[in-house]
């Protein structure tokens, strides 16, 4: 009779007394983990005749997949759009600090910058697994510079670019390399954007529409060419109009190719989007909603002056503005705060709120076979949360990487 160790010598950990988010439902069952993966207990019992080496009592916690933030510009004093000699230590700091907010994977995001900045920073970003050192890096999100002057938001106008005759070559020359790039945000109304979208999509890079004055037909054409995401819906785009709803109209468009889903980012911080707008988007297209923080260097720091790439920004409470203006510039919200606000604002289920920060971003990036779920054989990146959706512990590859200190409570 085969023993526990016939398949692997690695210890098996059984998480008991918990409610697991699986198949869109919180289910009262145990979670089994070995070698960083989630195990199928039936296979373990019947094929291996195995049992747990360690049992952990979760004390009735919710266990949910780790959060995935696909738009984060920095935090804790670190700005991903600033070319510095110690860029690596900055990205390491952010990846460590966001563990306490439930983020187990992220896409460091660069706002519109001069080519020299991309050339200096992008070679220093590498895709890597998460662990005790911090959240995993899925690849960079390049937001700009191929965006609309009218909807530039907090992006510096002097760095904006258009596509010239060799459109894709322009993009390559600007960025220097696409090796570690996961998402590119561009304005689809720009001339020659269709060929760029097709080239990026061919390389497995997600194209997002944003900072744009595109009408609905231009947005639909971009989706037909391969775009699958909308950068911070409602922000930095034409407002919804009943005769031409613009990019927002993609949420209910009947021109989306069969089998394709359009996802859209929402900054659910109570500042960037009125709760009513959040409800409208969620009710129109619930399966496409992806929570993003759009956090800037000032996240986790006291109010005052901080940077966002080439700009100086001021934090006033939860508002962040380009210094001396009332132009919003990213957020200081953490992902767990966004999840709680989203649930409160929409009245959606706990499961829906958690999936908007885990399953949906994984589906957007095409990695849902390994992240964003607690399905068997997927990565054991997960959170323990209480009923109010406060993170109690964060696990990556089945190892505890952060836990709430309750000694002082």
Q: Is 232 annotated as a binding residue?
A: yes
Report d(CA 68, CA 261) in Å as an integer: 18
Question: CA torsion 299→90→263→191, rounded to 10°?
Answer: 110
* CA-based nearest residue to 186, from 222, 157, 156, 154: 222
Q: Is 341 annotated as a binding residue?
A: no
Q: Is 329 annotated as a binding residue?
A: yes
Q: Is 24 annotated as a binding residue?
A: no
> Does 294 participate in catalysis according to the annotation?
yes
Q: Is 154 annotated as a binding residue?
A: yes
* CA-based nearest residue to 285, from 327, 244, 321, 250: 250
Residue 379 near residue 371 (C-beta atoms within 8 A): yes
Q: Is 272 annotated as a binding residue?
A: yes
Residues 6+ apart with CB under 8 A from 398: 13, 33, 34, 35, 36, 37, 380
CB atoms within 10 A of CB 217: 12
DSSP 8-state assignment for residue 286: G
Residues 6+ apart with CB under 8 A from 39: 12, 32, 33, 376
Q: Is 398 annotated as a binding residue?
A: no
* CA-based nearest residue to 244, from 221, 277, 222, 217: 217
Strands of the sheet containing 304-308, edge to edge, are 304-308, 311-316, 319-322
Q: Which residue has the tokens 């829906």?
A: 352
Report d(CA 342, CA 337) in Å as an integer: 8
Residue 105 near residue 136 (C-beta atoms within 8 A): yes
Residue in 269, 294, 379, 381 annotated catalytic: 294
Report d(CA 262, CA 289) in Å as an integer: 9
Q: Is 192 annotated as a binding residue?
A: no
Catalytic residue ranges = 294
Residue ranges at the known binding site for Zn(2+): 143, 211, 232
Annotated binding residues for substrate, written as ranges, equal 154, 235-236, 243, 272, 328-330
């Amino acid at each position: 009779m085969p023993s526990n160790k016939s398949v692997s010598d690695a210890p098996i950990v059984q998480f008991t007394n918990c409610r697991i988010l699986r198949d869109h439902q919180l289910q009262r069952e145990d979670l089994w983990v070995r070698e960083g993966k989630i195990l199928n207990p039936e296979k373990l019992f019947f094929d291996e005749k195995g049992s747990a080496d360690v049992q952990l009592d979760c004390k009735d916690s919710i266990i949910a997949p780790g959060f995935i933030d696909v738009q984060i510009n920095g935090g804790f004093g670190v700005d991903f759009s600033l070319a510095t000699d110690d860029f690596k230590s900055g990205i390491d700091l952010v990846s460590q600090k966001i563990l306490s907010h439930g983020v187990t994977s992220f896409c460091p995001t660069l706002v519109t910058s001069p080519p020299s900045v991309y050339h200096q920073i992008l070679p220093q970003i590498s895709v890597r697994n998460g662990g005790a050192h911090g959240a995993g890096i899925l690849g960079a999100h390049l937001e700009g510079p191929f965006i609309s002057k009218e909807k530039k938001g907090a992006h510096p106008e002097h760095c904006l670019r258009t596509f010239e005759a060799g459109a894709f070559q322009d993009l390559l020359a600007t960025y220097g390399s696409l090796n570690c790039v996961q998402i590119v945000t561009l304005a689809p109304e720009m001339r020659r954007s269709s060929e760029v979208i097709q080239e990026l999509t061919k390389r497995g890079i997600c194209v997002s529409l944003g900072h744009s004055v595109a009408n609905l037909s231009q947005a639909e054409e971009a989706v037909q060419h391969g775009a699958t995401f909308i950068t911070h819906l409602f922000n930095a785009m034409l407002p919804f109009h009943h005769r031409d709803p613009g990019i927002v109209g993609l949420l209910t468009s009947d021109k989306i190719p069969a089998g394709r889903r359009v996802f859209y980012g929402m900054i659910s911080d109570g500042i960037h989007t009125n709760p009513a707008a959040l409800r409208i988007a969620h009710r129109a297209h619930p399966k496409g909603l992806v929570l993003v923080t759009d956090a800037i260097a000032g996240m986790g720091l006291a109010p005052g002056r901080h940077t966002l790439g080439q700009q100086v920004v001021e934090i006033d409470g939860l508002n962040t503005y380009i210094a001396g203006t009332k132009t919003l510039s990213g957020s200081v919200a953490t992902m767990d705060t966004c999840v709680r606000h989203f649930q409160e604002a929409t009245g959606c289920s706990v499961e829906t709120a958690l999936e908007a920060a885990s399953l949906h971003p994984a589906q957007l990036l095409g990695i849902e076979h390994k992240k964003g779920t607690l399905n068997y054989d997927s990565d054991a990146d997960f959170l323990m949360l209480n009923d109010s959706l406060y993170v109690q512990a964060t696990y990556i590859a089945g190892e505890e990487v952060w836990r709430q200190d309750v000694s002082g409570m």
